[in-house]
Structure formats: C-alpha cells, structure tokens
Amino acid sequence: MDKLAYLAKTLSRTTRKDYENYVVNAVWNRLGDDTLKPVSQQWLARPDGKGYFIDLYFPQVNLGVECDEPFHHNQKAADRARELDLMDILNQIDANHGYKALHIDISKGYDSVNAQIDMAVEEIRSEAQRRKDAGDFTEWSPDAGDETKLDGRQSISVGDGLSFRTICDVCNEVFDSGYQGQQHAYFRPQGPFRKSYPSYMAWFPTKMAVEGKGRKGWLNIVSPDGSVICEGREGENYEGDGDSSARVVFVMVKDPITGVSGYHFLGVFEPRGTKEVNGQQYRLYRRIAESFPILRG
C-alpha cells in the first residue's frame, strides 16, 4: 500500500469523532514530514490492564497525540476497550517502554487548541530530528517491499507486522517445511521444526476473539494483553490437562487499514490446565515467548 492510500485510510479512522478528527488531521498537516509514519487508533497497554487507544501515534519517536474531550473523558478507556480487536492486541505498545503522551485539551476553545497542536507538532519534529542526528531513525517507506519477506531476519516477533496468506506460507517461510498445499490447523510441521522442537506444535486458530467477544462453535478467546488463550468449544467442557505440547500460535487477522487478511504470530504458549468461564471449562494457555527463530534446514 502506497503512502497516499495508507494516509487516506488511517487518517479517516476518526471521521465519526469530530474533535479527534480535527486534532489528528491538524497535527499531521502541520507536521509536514512524510518520513514519519502516523498511526491512528493505536492501542496502549497499561500496567493496570486498563488500556486505551491513542488518537495519533508516531512509532519512530514513541510519541502520541491524545485528544482530551469533555463529558466522556472518564468513559474513554471503557468505551475503547469494547472496540478492541486482534490486530490491536498484536500491535499494542507498552506504557512502560518510554511512551510519552502529548495531550490536547479541546475544552479550552479554538485558540488554545491550536496553540496546543502547534506545541505538539514542535515536540514531534524536535524528537524526530534528535533521533535523525543520532542515527537512530528509520524513514517510513511503505513501498520498500513485501512485508512478508524474511530476508536477513533471525526470528519472528509479536507485533512485527509480518503477515502470511496461508498456513502453508507460514510453514515454508518460517519453518522451512517445503509443503505444496494446505495443512491442518494444529500439527507438527515437517523439516527443521519437527527436528528442533519435537515437543512443540503449530496452531493456527482461524476463529479467535478478544476476551468478552466469544463466538459460536470454537470459543477461542485471547486476553486483552495477548498473553493468555482460553480454548473451548460450545457445549463441551474440558477436564484435565489434555495435550501437554507447547504451541507456536499464528492467528488469522484482517488489517483494518489494508483490508487484507493473513496469519500473524501471537507467540509461543504452554498449556496451564483449565479455567472456568461463564460455567464452561476451557483449556488455558499462557504465553512463554514473544519471538520464535526462523528455521532453516
């Protein structure tokens, strides 16, 4: 996706939120630096578990613009949590990792809001320039190539943006399995995976929902921080520990910007017994690693 298409998509994600829309577009237009990548509606994970969406985030400088709206500010986190989806979990940032919020209080009126926007723009520019001078800045280049290419990578990590069209693509590109066609959703891939990780399995759940949004049939639920999976099936209760294999998990996700669906890495999980949710027993898995080596035969 080129820059124009990306910007048209990402900057329009606030079109039904009037004040946020004004602030987000004003910041971007005044910034005038297309080496910076803007990300709207970026999920921020907080230590207390009460995360929220940043209105406009710049990942290269770890700064975000947050529009503080009157009347419903206290409800903002709760409202946004109900909109959380798998892509948000995969791409979330941690509030403890140096993130700084630039607040715009729109209750102060037109002149004050614009002055605050100018101050935010100046801070973003200053931090970007500081990082450029220090050689710690990578320009935004969405046209650089296919994001699924693994050239030069030693591992795959949660939130790295890599997407794979099919299970076969994951197995061949990450595990070097050499498959020719579709594979099962839960199996031990042939080749280096089977040799190096004989006690592991690869898991590709196509139906997974964020906690509180279960679906009919398979009820695979992931916690808002992405660290816990509950696996269940409607009308069935799981007892005992079941399969003891660790699972390398890839989930099917649709990108809200590009509209393209693909498998994204969610982590390596270990079984931790069962858990009761709304009267039903689920198998419980806890994440033990956020990266996995790219295997070669």
pTM of the predicted structure, to 2 decimals: 0.83
Residue range(s) of every CATH 2.30.280 domain in the chain: 155-293
CA 95/CA 92 separation, integer angstroms: 10
What is the per-residue pLDDT for 83? 64
Query: Is the Cβ–Cβ distance between 167 and 182 less than 8 Å?
Result: yes
User: Which CATH number is 155-293 given?
Assistant: 2.30.280
Q: What pLDDT does residue 72 have?
A: 46
pLDDT tens for the chain, residues 1 to 297:
789 999 999 998 876 678 899 999 999 999 999 999 999 999 998 877 778 899 999 999 999 999 987 654 455 555 555 567 888 888 999 888 899 999 999 999 999 999 999 999 999 999 999 999 999 999 998 765 555 468 788 999 998 889 999 999 999 999 999 999 877 899 999 999 999 999 999 999 867 777 655 445 557 889 888 999 998 877 777 776 678 899 999 999 988 888 889 999 999 999 999 888 777 888 999 999 999 999 998
Give SS3 for 189: coil
- Report the SS3 class of residue 220: strand
